Amino acid sequence: MAAFLVFEIIIFYNVKYYKIFECFAKNIPKFLLIIMNDMFIEPNISGERRGWIEVICGSMFSGKTEELIRRLKRVKIANLSVEIFKPTIDVRYDETKVVSHDANAIQSTPVESSQQILLMANNVDVVGIDEAQFFDAEIANVCETLAMKGMRVIVAGLDMDYLGNPFGQMPNLLAKADYITKLHAICVKCGHIANISYRKTSQEGQVLVGEKDIYEPRCRVCAAK
Ligand SMILES: [Zn+2]
């Protein structure tokens, strides 16, 4: 117990010392340190532009696209350049817009393959990718290449298919991501947290593009019923 307390005190003072060092030795104001604690808006102390990968995942109706749009709108307000891509397979609402369920839209470019993103995303600050589960095997490498070039890459996608199995390249993207946000829907049967995009029809096959006509959010218990 005593050793634990000593350890705690050492950590406490180290943190304190670090903050004092940051504030006075490097002339960083305290408010900036508070901002630095937010994982997406760290200031670039070295002056070198560094990229990273953010993945927003979850089931259908969990608000992934809304969250992607929210982040991209902030990017635009900050006067940073942004390119947004989605796979051509996802044409549920609009061919050139990333459209969420609440019709909060943002202009995007439909692409056939992940390599096209690499060609089209030159000289931008931020790249947004929606419905990443539909992209080919190269999508994770493409995101890594963009991040290596200094771009912030924000990817949204279904982590699981209607059977609750990992969807497409999402496992690879999640493994390579620097930051992960997992969103949840609400189970329409019991009101608990929902992870599964339950398919209401008897059609099989992993890819069946649809909306509330075909899918509903369910928890794992209600999905198994
Ligand atoms: Zn349920």
Q: Record the pTM.
A: 0.76
Count CB neighbours of 24 within 10 A. Answer: 9
Q: What is the pLDDT of residues 39-70, one digit of tens each?
A: 555 556 677 788 999 999 999 999 999 999 99
Q: For residue 82, list its beta bridge partners.
A: 126
Q: What is the pLDDT of residues 72-127, one digit of tens each?
A: 999 999 999 999 999 987 655 556 666 665 556 678 899 999 999 999 998 899 99
Determine which one of 131, 138, 144, 216 is catalytic.
Answer: 131
| CA dist., res. 80 & res. 72, Å (int) | 10
Q: For residue 199, list its beta bridge partners.
A: 215
Among this protein's residues, is 22 annotated catalytic? no
Count CB neighbours of 87 within 10 A. Answer: 24
Count CB neighbours of 196 within 10 A. Answer: 24
* Percent of the chain's residues with pLDDT above 70: 73
Q: What's the 186 CA to ligand 1 centre distance in angstroms?
A: 8
